[in-house]
Structure 1
């Protein structure tokens, strides 16, 4: 007589991730935009720039002298339609809030911070960490962030690697506007920024909703 084999238990589905409360989202947007805002002060102090639509805003600021915060807000306007259509109302509203907050930080923080030597690594880490916090609360800084998050969610592509390619394009264009030494520092900072995103922001890695 053969021994009775125990039935293989059916694996239970993973529990749904706990949703973020509005207070969680509020502190995430505040802290994330503040970190990126401090990084913008570092960038401007060294006449550097970053990628994405913020990089476009930097280019316009350096080339024309127009206010950085206003340029960043205006450059992002065309991307809200894509965000609303593809990423949903909540994502779009939180992104609009984050863009508005960062536009304000970029105008206010230079009045409050006194800087000496600027470290491009610190600027990249601050920007990457701030963007990571926004991504994890289903928000972004608009523009290219909307595009790379959409492609990550629909195609599974790495947001960090996509952002790196777009940033490289912006940095190349910067050669026509800022000194090559500042562009070189910007490239180094962009590598640090996107390394933070590529390592810490992958599909399925973060469980909260």
Structure 2
């Protein structure tokens, strides 16, 4: 005879559905993580590809890589790898090996996707405002996906996550502060109109993170 199973309790209409969270049963599986990291890095790299076509910059080490690329003509993928190398040490020290390995994979993937975009999706010209806003929006969504799979694209993202974990100050706001400094530095390399576009785009990127990456809002790991 089959065992009798008690029916699940109905949610209390006065309090809404239960918010009890079983962390173990809600962890991402390997396949989910791989797809999430591939999707996130693809979106980040595609966003940066559009930014480069618009001759704009953004914040973080990605923006710094674009900026130095304009100044030196070095390829973005190489600058991105070199600039993020020191932050890998910080990730090991403060975030652990699991986060660090995922982040190193993401840094390499963004650089790899950049080569793919250059070869398969060359953009000779793009309307600057469209390229700047669309690029930052894509990059912001990509970074958000990576955060939710316990990874980042290195650099300021790691600092922002560490500050958020310790103080509750949202990672998006921390990154915005650093991004303002990086975007202002672009005045040394590109026209002020490009800097203005870049500043608006960087705000858009960080608003995506600040409004969506909140402790407790997303239950999967």
What RMSD over aligned residues (CA atoms) do the two structures have, in Å?
Answer: 1.5
**Does residue 152 in structure 1 map to residue 160 in structure 2?**
no
1:36/1:126 contact within 8 Å kept? yes
Alignment-derived partner of residue 202 in structure 1: 214
Alpha carbons of structure 1 residues 14 and 178: separation in structure 2 relative to 1, 3 Å: same
Alpha carbons of structure 1 residues 53 and 172: separation in structure 2 relative to 1, 3 Å: same
Alignment-derived partner of residue 65 in structure 2: 57
Unaligned stretches of 5+ residues in structure 1: 1-11
Q: Distance in 1 between matches of 2:53 and 2:72?
A: 17
| Equivalent residue in structure 2 for 1:19, among 27, 40, 44 | 27
Q: Distance in 2 between matches of 1:123 and 1:54?
A: 12
1:88-139 CA-partner distances (Å, limit 9, x unpaired): 1110000000000001112220221244435122112101100000000000
Q: Distance in 2 between matches of 1:199 and 1:71?
A: 30
Q: Distance in 1 between matches of 2:208 and 2:107?
A: 21
Q: Distance in 2 between matches of 1:200 and 1:131?
A: 11
| Equivalent residue in structure 2 for 1:136, among 148, 154, 172 | 148
Q: SS of the counterpart of 2:188?
A: coil
Q: SS of the counterpart of 1:175?
A: helix
Alignment-derived partner of residue 191 in structure 2: 179
Alignment-derived partner of residue 10 in structure 2: none
Which ranges of 4 or more aligned residues in structure 1 deviate by more than 6 Å? none
- TM-score, with normalisation over the residues of structure 1? 0.90
Q: Distance in 2 between matches of 1:128 and 1:166?
A: 15
- TM-score, with normalisation over the residues of structure 2? 0.86
Q: Distance in 1 between matches of 2:98 and 2:170?
A: 22
1:36/1:102 contact within 8 Å kept? yes
Q: SS of the counterpart of 2:151?
A: coil
Q: Distance in 1 between matches of 2:112 and 2:122?
A: 18
Q: Distance in 2 between matches of 1:87 and 1:206?
A: 19
Q: Give aligned pairs, total.
A: 198
| Equivalent residue in structure 2 for 1:190, among 193, 196, 202 | 202
Q: 1:38-77 to 2 correspondence within 5 Å?
A: 38-77=46-85
| Equivalent residue in structure 2 for 1:117, among 113, 127, 135 | 127
1:68/1:107 contact within 8 Å kept? no
Unaligned stretches of 5+ residues in structure 2: 1-17
